[in-house]
Amino acid sequence: MKIHEAEARELLARAGLPVPDADVATTAAGARAIAERLFAAGVPQVVIKAQVLVGGRGKAGGVKLAASAAEAETTAAAILALTIKDLPVRRVLVAPAATIVREIYLAALIDRTTRGVLVMASAAGGMEIEEVAAKDPAAIVREVAHPHGGLLPFQARRLGFGIGLRGELLKQFCLIATGLVKIARESDADLVEVNPLAVVPAPETPGGERLICLDAKVTLDDSALDRHPDLAAWRDADSEDPIDREAREQGISYIRLDGSIGCMVNGAGLAMTTLDLVTRAGGTPANFLDIGGGARADKVAAAMRIILADAGVKAILVNIFGGITRGDEVAKGLIEARAQQDRVVPMVVRIVGTNAAEAAVLLREGGFETATSLDEAAEKAVALAAAGGGK
Ligand code: GDP
Ligand code: MN
């Protein structure tokens, strides 16, 4: 689950990291009121930022400076009227504008290759890290945090040194890098990214500089949200893909892929196997979908809606190994779903295990194409998709 910058900043601030004060508004007048407060406190300029769950807001015109309350209001109105990468801007963040000397990239993320929390830093901040990785991979330095100790002091220093920091800035950098790893761990985040981590003038020391977190992007592990009801409350369901949302609300694990064969399976392991067998049979899976154990007819029908919402699906493979899931319930769900659906896509059904015989009768009466072995099912699905213009 992605959370907005405003909430991500809150997580950073709670961990004691240097984040400028900010407030959010849903209207231009509200943004003006925040700006007025900041100007009254002596801030010379404010920054107004679109709160949408995508990066690259700056380039899309979603991050703008304003030097007066009136300008803040018109700028906020313009930003609130934007749609960035298909997402309408519903809120803006208003904060004192920083004078940026330099931009650094810093992130802590779950890395499946090293099975740890990977910390990445680059002196080429501001731009997206994928761009840096493509253009100048050597500009990114990495450390894998200790599984129990977090980012150890020598690791933090090595990172800071690696991107050219010395003295006071290095010291601050170490605290921030260590803090990001701690946040990732304590909030079960997949990603805690600060880009830019800005080098700004430090007014208290003439000629001095300090670091502040000017942007924050946090993605939380959906499977761990039960442990964090306070963080789960930050979900912005309106920005969620409607299909992902329906899947989540139905308790269906669904991951969209880009192939043409929709797969409906019970059990995560069997679903993975099914994708492999579709691929081996020469096809491309359109999704991973696990309807879970003991699914009833209505859940099967919901899964079918979710699969069919993907226009790339040319054929569907249903693979059910009945344990607590009853084959006849699934068959009823398929019949129900077919009566509701407006798009007709060829389907092959393999149901074995509990109540498979009852299921077979229902499927035969319903005129469904069936298969007994999984290989046969995969081959049939691939042939059906190919006949329909996919593979
Ligand atoms: P993103 O484009 O969605 O990643 O949004 P960011 O929050 O990273 O903002 C994009 C860019 O706007 C940054 O890289 C900065 O160059 C600029 N920016 C953001 N906040 C400030 C600020 O307080 N002052 C100044 N001068 N520029 C800012
Ligand atoms: Mn950014």
Told to judge if 254 belongs to the known catalytic residues of this protein, a careful annotator would answer no
pLDDT at 296 over 90: no
Q: What is the pLDDT of residues 226-276, one digit of tens each?
A: 999 999 999 998 888 889 889 999 999 999 999 999 999 999 999 999 999
pLDDT at 29 over 90: yes
* Band (341; pLDDT cuts 50, 70, 90): confident
Query: Going by CA atoms, what residue is nearest to atom 13 of ligand 1?
Result: 126
Under CATH, which architecture does the 102-232 domain have? 2-Layer Sandwich (3.30)
Give the CATH H-level superfamily of domain 21-96: ATP-grasp fold, A domain (3.30.1490.20)
Catalytic annotation, pick one of 5, 193, 329, 379? 193
Distance in angstroms (rounded) separating the CA atoms of residues 82 and 220: 26
pLDDT at 391 over 80: no
pLDDT of residue 388: 84
Q: What is the pLDDT of residues 66-95, one digit of tens each?
A: 999 999 999 999 999 999 998 999 999 999
Catalytic annotation, pick one of 105, 143, 254, 379? 105
- Output the pTM of the full model: 0.84
Residues with CB under 6 A from ligand 1: 47, 49, 55-58, 63, 97-98, 100, 103, 126, 195-196, 214-215
User: Ligand 1 centroid vs 56 CA: distance in angstroms?
Assistant: 10
> Which residue from 298, 301, 300, 303 is spatially nearest to 286, judged by alpha carbons?
303
Query: Going by CA atoms, what residue is nearest to atom 15 of ligand 1?
Result: 126
**Taking phi first (over 0 means left), then psi (-120 to 50 degrees means alpha), and beta for anything else, what does residue 251 get?**
left
pLDDT of residue 119: 98
Percent of the chain at pLDDT > 90 equals: 87
Told to judge if 204 belongs to the known catalytic residues of this protein, a careful annotator would answer no
Q: What would the mean pLDDT of 27-55 be, rounded to a whole number?
A: 97
How high does pLDDT run on average in the chain? 95
What are the residue ranges spanned by the domains of the chain?
21-96, 102-232, 241-386
Instruction: Please tell me the number of the ligand nearest to residue 6's CA.
Output: 1
> Which of ligand 1's atoms lies nearest the C-alpha of 55?
3
User: Ligand 2 centroid vs 66 CA: distance in angstroms?
Assistant: 19
User: Ligand 2 centroid vs 38 CA: distance in angstroms?
Assistant: 22
Q: What would the mean pLDDT of 187-208 be, rounded to a whole number?
A: 93
Q: What is the pLDDT of residues 355-375, one digit of tens each?
A: 999 999 999 999 999 999 999
Q: What is the CATH number of domain 241-386?
A: 3.40.50.261
Mutation to probe ligand 1, out of 21, 215, 217, 218 (largest number of atoms < 8 A from CB): 215
User: Ligand 1 centroid vs 277 CA: distance in angstroms?
Assistant: 46
